[in-house]
Structure 1
Amino acid sequence: MIGLAAASARVGRAGAAPPPDELTHVELVWIEKQIEHWIRFGCEVREQVLDRRRRILFFRPGSVFALVRWAANEHGTVLSRLDILRAVPCSAPCQTVHTVTPGGDILLRVDGWPKVEHVLQLIDAIEAIGIHPAEVAPDHWRHVHNRLAAGETPRAYTMQRHRAFLLARRIGV
């Protein structure tokens, strides 16, 4: 698992960020073996450390990030969830997600450790071909969500698909 220390190793810290009220806030908690929230990928523009167990990351509207939430009690795991979200402007309609303010555009959501682990492996495969997962076509994450929900295998994200997405975005399609 990627912990709090991995945040400084992630790509994407930008210079001048918009005012905090224009950004999406994601509150992360890390209480070893009890509650563990972390960002698997994403390009935050700011970080606010609240205490040694809690911090808030700030994302620009339109940026894509993966939020992993895990919790356990004395009987075992009670929550395993991975959400891939696109940050939205504060006034835009959005879905509510626990620990994300104001919410986000949910591109993918999976529950249960086997599905979470599968999506983490898909993310690793995308990174292995040299693509930052935050730059992947949002429709690909929706495709993965829908295929997993139907019990099917999602298509792999390839460099060719990525180039097509970048070209389409460039011409405004």
Structure 2
Amino acid sequence: MTGFLTRVHLHYGRDLFNNYIRFGIPKYRDDFTGREAYEYYPAGAIFGYIKWQANDYDTKSWRFFVLRAGDDTTPQQVIYGITPGAEILADISGKERVQRFFKAIDQIEARDIDGSDVAPDYWVQSNARINSSLDPLPYRPEQHRAWLLERAVS
């Protein structure tokens, strides 16, 4: 991979919006204030990005992305707050769907597996299931071992 980095804008505005990382390991982070920062991810890194926004009455928008950072040779989708963009493995919107997706992530993390180490195909499949009103399938230990072996040889 190249030295190319994907920049993620993290921003918090009390009771108005919150853009933050659920999982992922950045190469480095620039903190500007207690409420705003940039994190930089190397090409190939997988991370979970939450965009929450409210209005005077309740939650206006709640989206969760599982993204893979790319480089100048990989196709990337434009996402506000991600520069220059990233490959979307999962795009979940709506409070109920995001909460159901978080339950699947919680189950994975309960087995001491970081979401950034999960097989990308699992995120794509879980995205399709959530958007079809189905729950994601459990992430099986043998599935994880197979992904780690595949990643080690490529």
Other-structure match for 2:20:
38
Other-structure match for 2:120:
138
2:87 is aligned with what amino acid?
A: D
> Scaled by the length of structure 2, what TM-score is found?
0.93
Matched, 1:105 2:87: yes
Query: How many angstroms does 1:91 deviate by?
Result: 4.2
Matched, 1:127 2:139: no
The structure whose RCO (Cα within 8 Å, separation 6+) is larger is: 2
Q: Separation in 2 of the partners of 1:71 and 1:41? A: 19
Post-superposition Cα deviations, 1:22-53, rounded to whole Å, max 9, x if no partner, equal 21000011111111111000000111112232
Equivalent residue for 2:5, pick from 17, 23, 32: 23
1:131 is aligned with what amino acid?
A: I
Cα RMSD (Å) of the superposition? 1.3
> Scaled by the length of structure 1, what TM-score is found?
0.83
1:145 partner SS: helix
1:85 is aligned with what amino acid?
A: L
2:84 is aligned with what amino acid?
A: P
Matched, 1:158 2:114: no
Query: How many angstroms does 1:161 deviate by?
Result: 0.8
Amino-acid identity (%): 32
Q: Separation in 1 of the partners of 2:83 and 2:30? A: 14
User: Could you list the runs of 4 or more consecutive aligned residues of structure 1 that deviate by over 3 angstroms after TM superposition?
Assistant: none
1:50 is aligned with what amino acid?
A: F
Q: Contact conserved, 1:24 with 1:60, CA < 8 A, in 2?
A: yes
Q: Separation in 1 of the partners of 2:73 and 2:15? A: 36
1:106 is aligned with what amino acid?
A: I
Query: How many angstroms does 1:169 deviate by?
Result: 2.7
Q: Separation in 2 of the partners of 1:64 and 1:147? A: 20
1:37-116 aligned at under 5 Å gives the runs 37-116=19-98
Q: Contact conserved, 1:90 with 1:102, CA < 8 A, in 2?
A: no
Post-superposition Cα deviations, 1:63-114, rounded to whole Å, max 9, x if no partner, equal 0000011111112211100000000013432111110001101000100111
